[in-house]
Amino acid sequence: MGHKIGYARVSTADQDPQLQLDALTAEGCLKIYKDVATGTKADRPQWQACLDDLRPGDTLIIWKIDRLGRNLRDLVDIVAVLEERGVGVKSLTNGIVDTTTAHGKLVFGMFALMAEYEAALIKERTLAGLAAARARGRTGGRKPKMTPALINKAQRMYDSKQFTMAEIASSCGVTPMTVYRNIRTSPAPRPTAATTAAPRAAQ
């Protein structure tokens, strides 16, 4: 007979963080692991401890499905891994998520299909965007780099002292920082007396 293991993820945005902990306790969880959301990607140390503790036949109890996965794809991947380990998943406030029942498994199968459909749509839109960019003569979202002709143009505009750096950048289709990196903005060194003096005739 497996055990019920609870996992909670609370944040300061929750109106009552204790609510989900009380619900997990009332469900009869043997242990409850709790992470406090900090807004970073690595803010779930107790989740790893919970995974290490789960055994075949156990059921992971969560308050809501959004406490387990960051998005639908993440949720599907987590539940699939747990299912392979013989661990069920049950959400207390989303009754449709309960992989310990035949109906719950069926519903979750639909979730998996929706996640695959969403991923396919994103891929299709990305490929379409790249194709449209190539049709416009671009291979990506980055602005064109300075060519020798553009560098020469920018240098002449800068030396004329009639244009601002923003105007030069706009004329070349790049950012002001790109212009700064490619032109000479300090005056050329003036020739010194030593370099301009005529060589002395040999004595």
Report the C-alpha gap between 141 and 92 in whole angstroms. 45
Choice among 11, 91, 160, 170 that is catalytic: 11
Rama region for 194: left / alpha / beta (φ>0; ψ in -120 to 50; rest): alpha
Q: Is 186 a catalytic residue?
A: no
Sheet of 31-36, strands arranged across: 31-36, 4-10, 59-62, 88-91
63 and 89 in contact (C-beta within 8 Å)?
no
Whole-number Å distance between alpha carbons of 36 and 40: 11
Catalytic positions: 11
